Amino acid sequence: MTPMTRRACTAAATVATAALLAGCGDDTSSNVSASGTTAGGHAAGHDMSGMDMGGTTPSAASQKSHASTMQMKKLGTATKDGESVELDISEPVTFSVYEGDQLVKHAPRKDQNAHVMLLLSDAETGDRLPDATITLRITDAAGKVVSSGPQYPMIGMGMGIHYGDNVSLPKAGKYVAQLVVGPPRIGRHADTTDRWRTTTRMSIPFTWDGATTR
Ligand SMILES: [Cu+2]
């Protein structure tokens, strides 16, 4: 990892924490749409065939060749302020994140029974957006918070950049994923300078069938 990337990751984590603490204003836009899904009904949910994802994103065919991608199960999506977020789930995983110069392993805790992945992309082009911050709060049907915190930027073979963490989902049922998405701090060509500039709140209602594989 280059020093540049490392700085960006650290900055992202810092901003995520700050955003969480500050409560994140700028929640003025109203053009929000969200679609929860019944998890079992979207076996082809992650098939991106037919979308031109640009040169840096692997084709649907190559994504499918990796076991990690096969394990991603789509739970729902939301679109607002020119950004789209897809919520996926898998079995809990051990992932590693940089703390200073050290790549530190995060093994799932005993109470964590799932790994959530938030796929943030431009709503128009489908390009994945790095260097953003996402905080996630999952509430159950009674409105009780079952999981909450800033999400780690990470990547897996064929999965592309996503934001995620291991979480606890007590049982099958209805949940709402509430997201606070801070602007991607990546450099921009002129045509993206005015996109994704505000902090955006989105909700993704979903029904979990209790399975972390599809
Ligand atoms: Cu992940």
| Under 8 Å between Cβ of 112 and 149 | no
What's the CA-to-centroid distance between 86 and ligand 1, angstroms? Answer: 13
pLDDT score of 34? 58
> How many whole angstroms from 45 Cα to the centroid of ligand 1?
17
User: How large a percentage of the chain has pLDDT more than 90?
Assistant: 63
More confident residue, 117 or 47: 117
Of 34-38, 78-82, 113-117, 149-153, the one with minimum mean pLDDT is 34-38
Helices then strands, each counted (H, E), the chain: 3, 12
Residue 12 has pLDDT above 80, yes or no: no
- Number of domain units in the chain: 1
pLDDT reported for residue 109 = 96
Q: What is the pLDDT of residue 132?
A: 98
Does 213 map to a domain? no
The answer to whether the CB of 136 falls within 8 A of the CB of 149 is yes
Annotate 16-43 with DSSP letters as a single string. HHHHHHH----------EEEE-BGGG-T
pLDDT over 50 at 66, yes or no: yes
Between residues 128 and 21, the one the model is more confident about: 128
Neighbouring C-alpha atoms within 13 Å toward the C-beta of 164 = 30
Distance 66 CA to ligand 1 centre (A): 14
101-109 long-range Cβ contacts below 8 angstroms, 24+ apart = 101/6, 106/152, 106/166, 108/166, 109/166
Q: What is the mean pLDDT of residues 141-160?
A: 95
Mean pLDDT of the 51-73 span: 61
Non-local (6+) Cβ contacts of 41 within 8 A are none
Which band of pLDDT confidence, cut at 50, 70 and 90, is reported for residue 71?
confident
Q: Cα(93)–Cα(116) distance, rounded to whole angstroms?
A: 10
Instruction: Find the 150 Cα to ligand 1 centroid distance in Å.
Output: 13
The pLDDT of residue 3 is above 70: no
- 57 belongs to a structural domain: yes
Range of the domain at 8: 3-208
Residue 78 has pLDDT above 90, yes or no: yes
Q: Is the pLDDT of residue 54 over 80?
A: no
Is 21 inside any structural domain?
yes
Which residues make up the environment of ion ligand 1, defined by Cβ < 5 Å? 117, 154, 164
For ligand 1, the distance from its centroid to the CA atom of residue 156, given in whole angstroms, is: 7
CATH assignment at residue 90: 2.60.40.2480
pLDDT at 31: 45
Q: Determine the distance separating the centroid of ligand 1 and the alpha carbon of 104, expressed in angstroms.
A: 14
Comparing C-alpha atoms, which of 115, 151, 147 is closest to residue 135? Answer: 151
Tell me how far the alpha carbon of residue 162 lies from the centroid of ligand 1, in angstroms.
6
pLDDT digits (tens, 9 = 90+) for 119-136: 999 999 999 999 999 999
Distance 165 CA to ligand 1 centre (A): 6
Q: Share the mean pLDDT of the chain.
A: 80
In the reported structure, the alpha carbon of residue 160 is separated from the centroid of ligand 1 by a whole-number distance in angstroms of 10
Cα–Cα distance, 23 to 19 (Å, whole number):
6
Q: Are 116 and 159 in contact (CB under 8 A)?
A: no
- Is 32 within a domain? yes
Provide the pLDDT confidence category of residue 214 given band limits of 50, 70 and 90.
confident
Q: Once rounded to an integer, what is the mean pLDDT over residues 151-171? A: 95
Residue 214 lies in a domain: no
Q: Is the pLDDT of residue 82 over 80?
A: yes
Across the range 183-202, mean pLDDT stands at: 97
* 174 CA to centre of ligand 1 in angstroms: 22
User: What is the Å distance from ligand 1's center to 81 Cα?
Assistant: 24
CA of 155 to the centre of ligand 1 (A): 6
DSSP-assigned states of every residue in 118-187: EEEEETTT--B--S-EEEEEEEETTS-EEEEEEPEEEEETTTEEEEEEEE---SSEEEEEEEEEEPP-S-
Q: How far is the CA of 190 from the centre of ligand 1 (A)?
A: 31
